[in-house]
Each structure stands twice: as structure tokens, then as C-alpha cells.
A and B are shown apart, each in its own frame.
Chain A
Amino acid sequence: AQTVTQSQPEMSVQEAETVTLSCTYDTSESDYYLFWYKQPPSRQMILVIRQEAYKQQNATENRFSVNFQKAAKSFSLKISDSQLGDAAMYFCAYRSALEYGNKLVFGAGTILRVKS
């Protein structure tokens, strides 16, 4: 079974600064998808960024980028120019590409606080 570990329960960042959230995962599969989801106080999970394991290039979405290290099974999220609206719980998630369906395995989450 796959597992996802987020070792930082809470992080803080100053507005306009950069912060990196860590995520490691364990799998014996070679093909899979990795995601970062954001859950603000409204509770609705919002996809921030996704990475296909077969792609070597790190995904980027505006101020959000990932550092995907497949051999190390590491998938960190970098938020540049942090904004107050980035404050939320961030979840790292794994999905197998070998199984049909949309079963996501989530990490425990990291609370991100943004200070003005």
C-alpha cells in the first residue's frame, strides 16, 4: 500500500517571502500522479498543482512549483511571493496510474500561516 508523509505539521511565512512544504511518499509502482491540494477555512479542497511521475520536468503553476525527486520519492511544494490568501492547510496526495479510478492517498497535511 502507498503512504504519503508530510513531516511539517505547521509552517509560517512572511508575506512576499518564499516557503517550501515537504512531502515524501512510499510506493513500489513506477507510474503514478502526485498532487498538492489546498484546503482553506471554507473546507473546499482546491487543486494547486499536479505532477505525472513519468515527466522529469517539475510542474509549475504561477507562484507554485514543485521539486519532484522520483528516486528519493520526494515531492515538495514551493510557494513564491506568498500572499495572505495562501494561508490554508496543504495536502500532498498520491494516485496510482495502474489502477482505474480516482483513489487519492493523502498525507496528514501542513498548516501554512502567512504573516503580514
Chain B
Amino acid sequence: KAGVTQTPRYLIKTRGQQVTLSCSPISGHRSVSWYQQTPGQGLQFLFEYFSETQRNKGNFPGRFSGRQFSNSRSEMNVSTLELGDSALYLCASSLLGIHDSGTEAFFGQGTRLTVV
């Protein structure tokens, strides 16, 4: 069974540009969450999607957005990139249904974004 796949693995962008990151969850998983990991702030929750709907959102500016497609694949977009957006972006998928809160989250290997 294939794991969570994130593309691309590495990305270099210029300040002011926008970027789109992709996450393909494990087959059958309907929940996709995104996290930002930086040395200074650690791991922070960005948002979660379930069945194409955003279910939870962290405390990030509106420049960070996401979406989920009918096949559960998810994309996150960052517009008007700032130097501080340089980070490892991790995606996690899980089976989580409406009444199931205890399911494990499986993580991808992340996308390393560098903003110059």
C-alpha cells in the first residue's frame, strides 16, 4: 500500500511569488492535514480537509489556503511568499470519519520550501 506522497520534495521560490504544494493521501483515507515545521516555531497545524471541506484551521494568515479534490488529493497554496514562509511542509492523512477521533495520522516526507 503506497504511503502519503508529497510533491515536490524541494522548492525554491522568490519573495512575492506564490506556490502550490501537493499531497496524495493513502488510498481510502479521506482526511488530509497540513503542518508547517520551522526551527523557530516547531510544528504548527495549518488546516485539515475531509471530504473536500475544510474542517479545521490553524492560526495562519489568509495567504495560506488549501483545497481537497474528490479523490482526496489535497493542495495547499501560499501566495505572496515571505522569507518567513521557508519551512518544511508536512501532509498527513488518516481514515478519520465523523465519529472516529482516534485514528492514526500517517505523514508524508514533506516539501522543503525555501523562499529567497
Q: What is the interface of chain A, defined by CB distance below 8 A to chain B? A: 33, 37, 42-47, 50, 52, 91, 95-97, 99-109
Contact = CB atoms under 8 A, between A and B. Distances in A.
Contacts of B101: 33, 95-97, 99-101
B102 A43 contact: no
Contact of A44 (B45, B58, B103, B108): B108
Interface stretch (B64-72, B74-82, B88-96): B88-96
Secondary structure call for the B interface:
strand
Interface of B: 31, 33, 35, 42-45, 48, 50, 55-56, 58, 88, 90, 92, 94, 96, 98, 101-110
A103 B56 CA distance: 7
Nearest to A96: B101
B56 A108 contact: no
A100 B98 contact: yes
